[in-house]
Amino acid sequence: MKEITPLIICGGNGTRLWPISRTHSPKQFQRVGDAASLTFFQAAVERHSGEGFGTPLIVSSAKHGRTLHRQLRQIGRGAEVILEPMGRNTGPAVLAAALKLAARDPDQLMLVVPADHVIEGDINTAIKAVQPGAEAGYIVTFGIKPRYAETGFGYITDGGPIIAHPNLREVERFVEKPPTRKARLLVESDIAYWASGISLFKAATIIEEYARYDPETLDHVVQALSGASETAEGLLLDGEAFGQADAEPTEKAVFEQTRRIALCRLDVEWSDVGSWTAMYGISNTDASGNVIQGDVISVESKNCMIRSETRLVTCVGLEDIIVVDTADALLVTKVGHCQSVKQVAEHLKSNERIEAEKHQRTDYEWGSIRQLVARDHMTLCTVTVKPGGTMRLDPAPGREAIVAAGEVLLTNGRTQARLRDGDRQTLCHQTRTTLSNPTDTAVEVLVFTIVLQEAQQDLASSARHAS
């Protein structure tokens, strides 16, 4: 059998998982559990990287190109990358990938998988079992046996066997996010499955169906691909053409209309982790039913999720509460109200709060920057440089560097100095500064800037030029 190309869709903002998920660092690039766990994206890549699977193709927002490549390097994986100039839902993203693959081989099988789901169990055996059906021209969508009446998921109902392909079933109908009563009836029917967002088909098949049901979007995506430009992070689609594509998911644009659709039933542990309640549900609990992540002390609390990223969090006498503490924002909500976290994220965005867009800490290949103070007249940041890493700072008036911990080699113009704990250096405002770590331990440097009116500059933006 031919190798299957995993197509990992890396869009979406995951606003219901604020404050860890933000516009510039969304859910798919966050760790599933503690600091040692993989991110959602990394887990998706690893899940479909064994025998029978080829090099993955990733479709992501252009603004996340560096992040996804950094995370790929962390797990030692390579990938082809298509970058979207703006989000247009899954349909145009899948179509762009199909066109790229079809240019090499129209019969290439592509497995569409969201980057932000959690799956436990053997899904790949089921995928390979329906490969002959996909090669025969079916669009195979994977349904998850439901465990409860969920109103936030779409459903697929089983229309009976496909005689020629025993592992496939007819699709009777799609049901989009039903109300509670209808969801219960669907689950009780024993023929309804959660729509997983995972699908398998030939590149040529999906292109043919778009030509039949949405030819205008096909034309726009063809133009976006033909006008694409190669960048360091991937193939950047033409924005003018791509922006005209219909922003619909593949399910609505094609799956609900085509006669080539087929269902593969899955019995695995699956979650799209669309809320903090769902995150609690996939995490390991202690004897009191608590999920504890980070520096946390819990006393007489039960059935809670308490997550701390930067400091000690203590909880006493809580029940059914979600606590998520990051460097610059704290979320406290009751289990059952977690879907409403999206409203908080929307409020922050409408009020142009930075907490909707960015984290206080920004990670780079060489280390990280954590902004401690940002005012009109001054900024104070902690720069952490990994062993062997080098950070480059653009010139700016009124800037000093103070070594908080470790040893750093500071180069400023023609001046080079080795600084240690407590040493400070005024930086020349006319030349770029490099901070190199020649040791085997991380170094922390405080960078303090008196911001002048004629030279207001964001430290994080200067870090774009870092090696």
Per residue in 73-104, pLDDT tens? 999 999 999 999 999 999 999 999 999 999 99
User: pLDDT value at position 462?
Assistant: 56
In the predicted model, what is the mean pLDDT of residues 16-24? 92
280 backbone dihedrals φ, ψ, rounded to 5° = -60, -40
List all residues 6 or more positions away from 190 whose beta carbon is below 8 Å from its beta carbon. none
Closest CA to 9 of 113, 143, 96, 101: 113
In the predicted model, what is the mean pLDDT of residues 324-329? 93
The letter for the amino acid at 434 is T
Per-residue pLDDT at 454 exceeds 70: no
In the predicted model, what is the mean pLDDT of residues 117-123? 92
Residues 441 and 138: their CA atoms lie apart, in Å, by: 54
What domains can you pick out in the chain, each with its CATH number? 4-271 (3.90.550.10), 289-348 (no CATH), 361-465 (2.60.120.10)
| pLDDT, tens digit (0-9, with 9 covering 90-100), for 202-246 | 999 999 999 999 999 999 999 999 999 999 999 999 999 999 999
Per-residue pLDDT at 453 exceeds 70: no
Residues 143 and 186: their CA atoms lie apart, in Å, by: 13
Whole-structure pTM value: 0.84
In the predicted model, what is the mean pLDDT of residues 439-447? 95
